[in-house]
Structure 1
Amino acid sequence: MAAILSVSGSPSATSRTARLLRHLYERLRLQGHDVTVLDVRTLPADALLHADLRHPAIVQATAQFEQADGVVIGTPVYKAAYSGLLKALLDVLPQYALTGKTVLPLATGGSTAHVLAIDYALRPVLSSMGAAHIVPGWFTLDKDITVGVDATTTLAPAAADALAQITDRFSTAVGGPTTVLTPAG
């Protein structure tokens, strides 16, 4: 199966974006993919902001992109665009870091007014970085991602079904199973 890099561009440790990505990569692991997780917020801010390409954390992040067959990029939407934290990472990566990769862009936000952020803000950057195939992305409303008192994440049924379909299409695009799993909430 494929090596997948799951990238969370959220600055928050309790991010709904990270929870959505976790839901997605658990499904990808069940399908047999090897998933590596990169939370951009854990990278040293100084290295990102000063574009320190020799910093060990930046070198490691770059290597993770190189080793991946597919990349899932998740971001909260702020001011009609992807997060500045994600932008800082994309800026320090090599220009063609996504060459030959299949990419799935995901976004979360508080309003459907931000749904086009994937296509108008994120997709052009991913394309400019050489992505071989950018599968249709998905936007999930914050209200459709709930966190229980026991810290479990639950997706609204329609959001869970849509995410399952998007995940399965991505899995197939990176060389995963052609049969899909039953949608899970």
Structure 2
Amino acid sequence: MATVLSVSGSPSATSRTAKLLRHLDHRLAAQGHDVIPLDVRTLPADALLGADFRHPAIADAAALFERADGVVIGTPIYKAAYSGLLKSLLDLLPQYALTGKTVLPLATGGSTAHVLAVDYALRPVLNAMGAAHIVPGWFTLDRDINVGDDGTLTVAPGSAEALAQVTDQFSVALGGRATVLAATA
């Protein structure tokens, strides 16, 4: 199947966004995809903020984007836009780093007032970076994502179903139709 790069743009070590992405990574892996997680917060801050295109960690991240057939971009929404941390990384990637890629944009936030940020803030940037196909994304309310003391993640039923649907659509777009149908049967 396809190689999927799963990118968390959250600056928080206890991020619900990152935990949600890793949960969806398991679904994609079960459908036969090779999933590579990337937490942007683990990249060196001096390289991100200093726009050091040549830093080995930034070059490695750019190589992951180049290697991927599909990219899942997850971000918390702050001030009606995707995270500044994610922006820092996207700014350091080649202009057309998403050329030929299928992309799934996901966002989390505290209010439904931010639900359109996926389409009005994130999608235009992904499009400008040359994404071949941006599948319908999803915004999940923070209150619908619960992380237990043991680290287990639960998602409210309505949100869980919607996330499964957009993840499966992404998988189908990558060529995983037969696997998706078998995994959801």
* Structure 1 length-normalised TM: 0.97
**1:182, distance to aligned residue in structure 2 (A):** 3.1
Residue 102 (structure 2) pairs with residue 102 (structure 1): yes
Residue 111 (structure 2) pairs with residue 111 (structure 1): yes
Which position in structure 2 is the counterpart of 1:41?
Answer: 41
Residue 153 (structure 2) pairs with residue 182 (structure 1): no
Q: What 5-or-longer segments of structure 2 have no aligned partner?
A: none
1:82 maps to amino acid: Y
8 A Cα contact 1:31 1:177, kept in partner: no
Task: Spell out the pairing of 1:69-148 with structure 2 (5 A cutoff).
Answer: 69-148=69-148
Which position in structure 2 is the counterpart of 1:164?
Answer: 164
How far apart are the structure 2 equivalents of 1:23 and 1:161?
13
Which position in structure 1 is the counterpart of 2:59?
Answer: 59
How far apart are the structure 2 equivalents of 1:70 and 1:17?
19
**1:175, distance to aligned residue in structure 2 (A):** 1.2
2:169 maps to amino acid: R
How far apart are the structure 2 equivalents of 1:127 and 1:149?
38
Q: How many residues align?
A: 183
Q: What 5-or-longer segments of structure 1 have no aligned partner?
A: none
Task: Quote the RMSD (CA, aligned, Å).
Answer: 1.0
**1:149, distance to aligned residue in structure 2 (A):** 1.8
Q: SS of the residue aligned with 1:13?
A: coil
Listed one character per residue, the Cα deviations across residues 91-114 of structure 1 (whole Å, up to 9, x for unaligned) are 000000000000000000000000
How far apart are the structure 2 equivalents of 1:62 and 1:149?
34
Percent identity of equivalent pairs: 78
Q: Which of the two has greater helix per residue?
A: 2
**1:172, distance to aligned residue in structure 2 (A):** 0.5
How far apart are the structure 2 equivalents of 1:26 and 1:161?
15
